[in-house]
Amino acid sequence: MADRFSGKTVLVTGGAAGLGRAYALAFGREGAHLILADINEDGMIETRALVEGVGGSAECHRVDMSSEADINALAGKVLGGHERLDVLINNAGLHLGEIARGFFGLGQAKWQYFFAVNTIGPMLLAEALRPALAKATGLIINKSSMASYNPATAYGITKASLNVFTHAMALQFGSDGIRCVAIAPGLMETEAARGGVQDDNWERLKGMQMVKRQGTAEDIANLGLFLASDEGSFINNEVILCDGGNQMRGFRI
């Protein structure tokens, strides 16, 4: 096991599966202690066991990112148990179903829910964890999407808004030495993404890429490792595409 992040603490929301699990395993292999947060408790327990299997350590906390009370409760537990937080990965989000198809006819309640989870929740969690992030001069990584560059769905709109929040957060948190960036994945080979896209559309989207292989969760996790490392420590206030050079940046449309 490498030890670039030995003694450091990394919080991953949406850590029960997919990209969140990939982040947890990547940082766990490098010696970090993982704080996993998700609404899916069984999935988090599985991720914790996998992290421990690669030599890392992890703890699990249930959180609903649409609930400010849940977010504040999670932050209270983290601050109570950890003086420092080196990396916050705001990975949890809604990306399947109506949010990825719909635009008109959603109604105010659905729009508010989508924004609460995908846009406002990450900022509220970072704000609540600011003392521990400041103590570590830490890094916030927001999960954007290539869909933010062609926001033709509610999903794309929430991620385009998160890009703007990322820039504002970099400015506001910068006085404490906290960096804030976003990673905008392309269409990645995860179970959730594969199940949410029809085969013909999957091939169409893959065909738009200049790199002719499908991206993986590990591609995103590796970028996160770099950004959190000493080598990436001068990168701030950026939304970084990791999409194989996708020429159109469409998403499920």
- Which amino acids are annotated catalytic? 155
Which residues have CB under 8 Å from 105's CB, separation 6+? none
Q: What is the rounded CA–CA span in Å between residue 188 and residue 196?
A: 12
At residue 135, what is the residue type? K
How many other C-beta atoms lie within 10 A of the C-beta of residue 206? Answer: 19
- For residue 28, CA distances in Å to 2, 64, 78, 244 come to 9, 24, 18, 26
Neighbouring C-alpha atoms within 13 Å toward the C-beta of 174: 12
Q: What percent of the residues of the chain are helix, what percent strand, and what percent coil, each to the nearest 5?
A: 50, 15, 35
Instruction: Report the SS3 class of residue 62.
Output: strand
Cα–Cα distance between 11 and 140 in angstroms, integer?
Answer: 10
Token reading at 226: 């770099």
Of 223, 225, 126, 141, nearest to 176 by C-alpha is 126
Instruction: Identify the helix (H) or strand (E) that includes residue 65.
Output: none
Comparing C-alpha atoms, which of 86, 219, 34 is closest to residue 25? 34
Radius of gyration, CA atoms only, the chain: 17
